Chains A and B, each alone.
Chain A
Amino acid sequence: QSALTQPASVSGSPGQSVTISCTGTSGPFGSYILVSWYQQHPGKAPTLILYDDSQRPSGVSNRFSGSKSGSTASLTISGLQAEDEADYYCCSYVASITFPVVFGGGTKLTVL
């Protein structure tokens, strides 16, 4: 099945910016229509932080931003805070006969 590939881990110091990539391995990102991003703290359910590549739901900090270029979508977190330490997942659906929803493998963000 098609997959979304994320780095296993990224890290940054408080106040810095980090970017998490999400690459569609089935081909150009044209096969994946729009990307959403989720944050998950240990032992908690995920929460939506971005949808439609770069839209923020109400209540989500503007420190979270998203973009997409070619086969790669990106989540950027600026002004890192300790509370940002969490797992992050990208998600999309595949433009295929079955249109399944797929998640990336997740990225562990460590705030140093």
Chain B
Amino acid sequence: QLQLQESGPGLMKPSQTLSLTCTVSGGSISSAGYYWSWIRQHPGKGLEWIGYIYFSGNTHYNPSLKSRVTMSVDTSKNQFSLKVKSVTAADTAVYYCVGGSSGYDVFDSWGQGTLVSVSS
């Protein structure tokens, strides 16, 4: 059973770069066929897919966020990461790291989520 755990700052100021890391346990991040994604949820709102990274480093981002998002993977630490630059209040959300083994659009293992608030 995969377990995922997000880590990162809970409070940020506008224009800063958000950095989150997801630590995967109970399995290898290098497992073939697994896609590692970030999904966020604005307070009281629905889910928004940010993008995914494969263990090889291949990425695919939501076109609406692509200009500000970078994902990376560290197979030696069994971690993958998200950076979002130039954050604004609109980036305030719960950020989930997620694993999927049935395609990049199926999310079967979720972290507990971490709230990131952007405020001056």
Residues of A within 8 A of B (CB): 1, 33-34, 36, 38, 45-48, 51-52, 57, 89, 91-93, 98-106
A-B contact pairs, 28 of them (CB 8 A): A1-B64, A34-B103, A34-B105, A36-B106, A38-B47, A38-B107, A45-B96, A45-B113, A46-B96, A46-B107, A46-B110, A47-B110, A48-B107, A52-B106, A57-B108, A89-B47, A91-B47, A91-B49, A91-B105, A91-B106, A91-B107, A92-B105, A98-B63, A99-B60, A100-B49, A101-B105, A103-B46, A104-B46
Chain B 79-109: CB-based contact to A (< 8 A → 1; otherwise 0): 0000000000000000010000011111110
- Contact pattern, B 55-79, Cβ under 8 Å of A = 1, otherwise 0: 0000010111000000000000000
Most chain A beta-carbon neighbours within 10 Å: one of B49, B104, B107: B107
How far, in Å, is B44 (CB) from chain A's closest CB?
10
B64 lies within 8 A of A36 (CB): no
Q: Which residue of chain B is the closest to A6 with respect to CB atoms? A: B46
Contacts of A1 in B (CB 8 A): 63-64
The answer to whether A52 and B62 touch across the interface, beta carbons within 8 angstroms, is no
**How many A-B pairs fall under 8 Å by CB?**
58
A103 and B106 in contact, given A1-B63, A1-B64, A45-B113 (Cβ under 8 angstroms): no
> A89 CA to B64 CA in the complex, in Å?
20
CB of B62 within 8 A of CB of A100, answer yes
Q: Which residues of chain B have C-beta atoms less than 8 A from A36's C-beta?
A: 105-107
Partner of A103, one of B47, B64, B111, B112: B47
B29-55 Cβ-contact flags toward A at 8 Å (1 or 0)? 000000000000000001111000000
Interchain CB contact under 8 A, B63 and A100: yes
- Write out the residue numbers on chain A whose beta carbons fall within 8 Å of the beta carbon of B110: 45-47
Please name the residue on chain B nearest to A35 by beta carbon: B105
